[in-house]
């Protein structure tokens, strides 16, 4: 914990990114990955497999954009590069050590972008107002374990600063993200969170209150917080789904 706090102070980041907790979260995810990489392994492998399957039909030297790239644990970077693809890695924050790993690679590009467009206004003006942004074009767009996360830090910051949120705030952010992805994109996201005590289900909550998502083409469990992480006896498992986003029906 002390190590994480020191690292947080020393890691450079834009003010709003730090204030809304994205740096703290990136450091915490790294630490959690260190503690639970064995429990996470099958989830990470399944993400990589689905990404490789989606990239298989692309011609060599295509451009692949990954939104929610973070620390890249769930991205088959080397395999995609070996096909000659160019990677656009989009996240509000990448740890310096992640950027350093590919600093000299001319086909790996890090893009630090808030994909809700809300973070800066919420921090600077304490209002909910969207700043328009564009992402570069890509042959394949992948939204990777980010969809359900998008409203979380915004809601926490608004609560800390008594900023009123519009009705359906979380749902609208997620719907906006799906619209940003567009048809042909690959979506990987948790869809349900399951708390268990000594292996007995305690509570299940839906992670995706967005209408219009079809049945996932693949589904698996991510043992994100085995017993001992959140509580001595309680564990948390995410049910994760994978979708190929279709064109809206006419």
Ligand X SMILES: C[S@@+](CC[C@H](N)C(=O)[O-])C[C@H]1O[C@@H](n2cnc3c(N)ncnc32)[C@H](O)[C@@H]1O
Helices (H), 1-102: 2-10, 15-19, 22-55, 77-82, 96-101
If the CB atoms of residues 74 and 245 are measured against ligand X, the closer one turns out to be 74
Any contact of residue 241 with ligand X (CB under 6 A)?
no
Q: Are 187 and 181 in contact (CB under 8 A)?
A: yes
Collapsed DSSP state (helix, strand, coil) of residue 117: coil
Instruction: Kindly state the smallest distance separating residue 198's Cβ from ligand X, in Å.
Output: 26
Instruction: Considering only the stretches 114-122, 127-135, 162-170, 234-242, report the one whose residues sit in contact with ligand X under the rule CB under 6 A.
Output: 114-122
Nearest-CA neighbor of 119 among 65, 94, 146, 156? Answer: 156
Which of 92, 141, 186, 210: binder of ligand X (CB under 6 A)? 92
Interface with ligand X: number of residues (CB under 6 A): 22
Write the CA distances from 105 to 84, 132, 178, integer angstroms.
12, 29, 30
Instruction: Kindly state the smallest distance separating residue 33's Cβ from ligand X, in Å.
Output: 7
Instruction: Give the C-alpha separation, 176 to 114, whole Å.
Output: 13
Collapsed DSSP state (helix, strand, coil) of residue 221: strand
Encoded one letter per residue, x for contact with ligand X by CB under 6 A and - for no contact, window 170-209 reads ----------------------------------------
If the CB atoms of residues 163 and 197 are measured against ligand X, the closer one turns out to be 163
Write the CA distances from 128 to 5, 90, 163, 237, integer angstroms.
29, 22, 8, 32
Q: How far is CA 226 from the centre of its chain?
A: 20
Instruction: Considering only the stretches 69-77, 162-170, 201-209, 214-222, report the one whose residues sit in contact with ligand X under the rule CB under 6 A.
Output: 69-77
Give the Cβ contact number of residue 30 at 10 Å: 17
Instruction: Kindly state the smallest distance separating residue 37's Cβ from ligand X, in Å.
Output: 11
Instruction: Considering only the stretches 6-14, 108-116, 164-172, 209-217, report the one whose residues sit in contact with ligand X under the rule CB under 6 A.
Output: 108-116
Per CB under 6 A, which of residues 128..157 are in contact with ligand X? 144-146, 149-150
Which of 8, 14, 21, 29: binder of ligand X (CB under 6 A)? 29
Q: Are 165 and 158 in contact (CB under 8 A)?
A: yes
Collapsed DSSP state (helix, strand, coil) of residue 249: coil
Collapsed DSSP state (helix, strand, coil) of residue 27: helix
Instruction: Considering only the stretches 91-99, 123-131, 194-202, 234-242, report the one whose residues sit in contact with ligand X under the rule CB under 6 A.
Output: 91-99
Q: Which residue's beta carbon is nearest to the bound ligand X?
A: 70
Instruction: Considering only the stretches 56-64, 72-80, 120-128, 210-218, report the one whose residues sit in contact with ligand X under the rule CB under 6 A.
Output: 72-80
If the CB atoms of residues 36 and 197 are measured against ligand X, the closer one turns out to be 36
Binding positions for ligand X, rule: CB under 6 A: 22, 26, 29, 68-74, 91-93, 114-116, 119, 144-146, 149-150
């Amino acid at each position: 914990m002390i190590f994480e706090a020191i690292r947080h102070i020393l890691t450079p980041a834009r003010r709003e990114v730090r204030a809304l907790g994205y740096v703290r979260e990136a450091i915490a995810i790294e630490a959690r990955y260190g503690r639970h990489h064995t429990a996470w392994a099958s989830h990470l492998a399944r993400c990589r497999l689905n990404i490789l399957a989606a990239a298989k039909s692309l011609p060599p030297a295509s451009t692949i954009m990954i939104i929610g790239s973070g620390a890249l644990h769930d991205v088959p970077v080397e395999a995609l590069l070996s096909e000659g693809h160019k990677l656009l890695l989009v996240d509000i924050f990448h740890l310096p050590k992640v950027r350093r790993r590919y600093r000299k690679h001319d086909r790996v590009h890090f893009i630090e972008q808030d994909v809700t467009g809300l973070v800066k206004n919420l921090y600077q003006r304490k209002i909910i107002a969207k700043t328009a942004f564009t992402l570069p074009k890509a042959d394949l767009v992948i939204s990777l374990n980010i969809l359900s996360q998008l409203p979380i830090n915004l809601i926490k910051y608004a609560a800390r600063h008594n900023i009123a949120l519009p009705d359906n705030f979380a749902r609208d952010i997620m719907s906006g993200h799906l619209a940003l992805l567009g048809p042909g994109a690959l979506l990987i996201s948790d869809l349900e969170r399951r708390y268990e005590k000594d292996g007995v289900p305690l509570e299940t909550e839906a992670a995706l209150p967005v209408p219009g998502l079809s049945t996932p083409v693949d589904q698996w469990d991510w043992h994100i917080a085995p017993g001992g992480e959140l509580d001595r006896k309680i564990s948390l498992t995410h049910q994760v789904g994978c979708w190929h986003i279709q064109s809206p029906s006419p």
